[in-house]
Structure formats: structure tokens, C-alpha cells
Amino acid sequence: MSLHDFSLDYFNLDGKTAIVTGGNTGLGQGYAAALAKAGADLFIVTHNDDWEETRALIEETGRKVHFLQADLTANENIKRIADECVSVYGKIDILVNNAGTIRRAPLLEYKEEDWNAVMDINLNAVYFLSQEVAKVMVNQGFGKIINIGSMLSFQGGKFIPPYTASKHGVAGLTKAFANELGIHNIQTNAIAPGYIETANTAPIRADQQRNQEILSRIPAGRWASPSDLMGVVVFLASRASDYMNGHILAVDGGWLAR
């Protein structure tokens, strides 16, 4: 590509199909809406069937949307997701591994079942769904896999050992997939959101002392909203990022710079 070839069309997703897990609430809903606004049709995987708000957001852009209620911890559902998306749209151009969970408790009190529940959603599902979708993308000769990391992909945190381990794992998987899939014109990158106003962070924001501690470290001086993450997901899903591979992109208001 020469300098004369580049245009804003490189960010256009017209004709693309995107899977977004956990795409009916919070950041996932924001990612789905952003991709639709850029031109993509959506295949949204959710753990419940409360998706009318998200349907309206997508359809008002003029794009198509298909929902699948599925438990990402069940192996049989992983192949079903890829197969059903191909059945509905004929291909998979973009995968956003957004679904995640968090359970808080002191390390010495953390229960094995809570560890397993977090790792199953945050890491195992990312690996197995990426693996299944990558088979489709390799046959196509192109694709974009976008994983969702965290500040805890870089730091240790407190009271969330499996979440920290899983998000470090997501960063590692991002690099591992990039190394193997890059030759097939498939780029794998990750977004590492900072502190975002979502249901998962509501308990922290309600703790006045903890909330102030967080805000005092963020150079931007505020929590992010899901809309602050919309531009970066379009970038990573588009031609504009074709030479970006294996990168974990922090969108954190400057948190890691402090």
C-alpha cells in the first residue's frame, strides 16, 4: 500500500460478519454497536435471551443481527457457534472474544469452584472458540480475532486471582495465535480496557474510598464509558490494522503510564 492508496475506507466493514460473545450488555454491546455502525453484520452469543435493546441498536444501523443463547463452557456449543454463523452468513470475518466473568474474594478464602468458573469463561472459552473459528478463517484466507484483556493482563490486582491469571492468559493466547495464524492473513490482537463503567465494576465504584484511589491514578481523571472502546474495536477489525498482530492495546486513560 502506498501513501496515496490509504483512505478512511480502510476502516469500512461493509460486507463483513462479526461474532461477538457477551454482546448484549456493557462493553460487548458497545463493541457490537460499533462494528454495526462501521458496516458489519453481527452474530451475537449471549448467556440469556434479553437482547431486544441490542437488536434495536444493530437494526437501526441497517445491519443484520442474529442471536444465539449458548453456554460457552460447554464444548458442544463452541462448534455450534462457528457452524451456525457460517450457516447464517456464509463466513466469519471477525471474532470478538468479549464474554467474561469476575468473582471477588481474598486469596486465602478463594474457592476452587470460583477459580474454575472464571477460568472456564475467561480463558478456556477464548481458546476453544478462537481455535474453532480459526479453522473457518484459514479456509477463507483472512480474518480478525480480537480478544479482550484487562489492566490485569499487566498487573496483579487484589481479591481476583483467577481473573488476573485468565487475563494474563488471554495476552499469551493473543501472541500464540498471532504467531501461528499470521501466515494465513489472520491478525490476532487484544484490547485491554482500563476502568470502565459496567455492571462488573459497580461494586468498586460504589466504594467511595476505592473509587477515589482509582480516579487519582488515571491521568484522564474519569472512568471510561463503553463508547470509549468503540473506535479501537473497529480499527482492529478493519483493514487499517492489517499489519498489527499479537499486540495488546491498552485503552486506559493513561492508567499504565503512572
Q: Cβ distance 111 to 154 under 8 Å?
A: no
Q: Among 10, 163, 195, 243, which one carries the catalytic annotation?
A: 163
Instruction: Answer yes or no: 163 catalytic.
Output: yes
Tell me the C-alpha distance between 201 and 197, whole Å. 6
> At a CB cut-off of 8 Å and minimum separation 6, what does 258 contact?
217, 218, 219
Give the residue from 84, 90, 80, 95 showing the smallest Cα distance to 35: 95
* CA distance linking residue 126 with residue 124, whole number of Å: 5
pLDDT tens sequence for the chain (258 residues): 566 778 899 999 999 999 999 999 999 999 999 999 999 999 999 999 999 999 999 999 999 999 999 999 998 999 999 999 999 999 999 999 999 999 999 999 999 999 999 999 999 999 999 999 999 999 999 999 999 999 999 999 999 999 999 999 999 999 999 999 999 999 999 999 999 998 878 888 999 999 999 999 999 999 999 999 999 999 999 999 999 999 999 999 999 999
If we measure between CA atoms, which residue out of 4, 7, 3 comes closest to residue 239? 7
Q: Where do the domains of the chain lie, and which CATH numbers do they carry?
A: 8-198+226-253 (3.40.50.720)
